[in-house]
């Protein structure tokens, strides 16, 4: 049985591919879950139109993403957080924090597009990747600074007393 995939199916193919599958797999799994259409001439024409429309839409999204990259690249985001002695933060800077800061500057970016392997938990400068399109990624500099209130002033007088003895 030949089917046209409507969605990406693992170990089978990508959206829009025409693949041969077993009768039972196509009839009992792919077709009822609307993952595929039966490969007829009419359905092939419809899928071809859908592919063309998707390609045009993807091209316009890519140009918009490239324009947004030009605006985001020179941007530097700064966050002030409480930190400990070794530059470790008591909290963290997450992708949601970066997305809200970008929103205050006029850039609407979904937090899921901000690629942080894990939240930033130390002081310093970081380059954060924002995947705006499948082929377009922007890099924004994020600076995390301490707020100046640390626990070290209480520890310093003890060190001075040891020196005085």
Tens of pLDDT along 4-47? 998 888 899 888 888 999 999 999 999 999 999 999 988 888 88
| Domain locations along the chain | 2-67, 69-153
Q: What is the pTM of this model?
A: 0.64
Specify the range with the lowest mean pLDDT, choosing from 32-36, 47-51, 63-67, 111-115: 47-51
What pLDDT does 158 receive? Answer: 43
CATH architecture of the domain covering 69-153? Roll (3.10)
Q: Do residues 82 and 89 touch, judged by C-beta distance below 8 A?
A: yes
| 69-153 matches 2-67 in CATH topology | no
The answer as to CATH 3.40.5.10 being correct for domain 2-67 is yes
45 token code pair: 């024409």
């Amino acid at each position: 049985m030949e089917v046209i995939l409507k969605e990406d199916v693992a170990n089978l193919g990508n959206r829009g591919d025409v693949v041969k599958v077993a009768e039972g797999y196509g009839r009992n799994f792919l077709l009822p879950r609307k993952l595929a259409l039966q490969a007829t001439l009419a359905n092939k024409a419809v899928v071809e139109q859908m592919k063309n429309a998707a390609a045009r839409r993807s091209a316009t999204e890519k140009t918009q993403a490239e324009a947004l990259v030009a605006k985001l690249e020179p941007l530097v985001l700064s966050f002030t957080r409480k930190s400990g002695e070794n530059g470790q933060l008591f909290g963290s800077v997450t992708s949601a924090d970066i997305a809200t800061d970008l929103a205050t500057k006029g850039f609407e970016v979904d937090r899921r597009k901000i690629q942080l392997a894990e939240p930033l938990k130390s002081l310093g400068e970081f380059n954060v990747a924002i995947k705006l399109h499948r082929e377009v990624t922007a890099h924004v500099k994020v600076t995390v600074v301490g707020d100046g209130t640390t626990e070290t002033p209480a520890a310093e007088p003890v060190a001075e007393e040891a020196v005085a003895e």
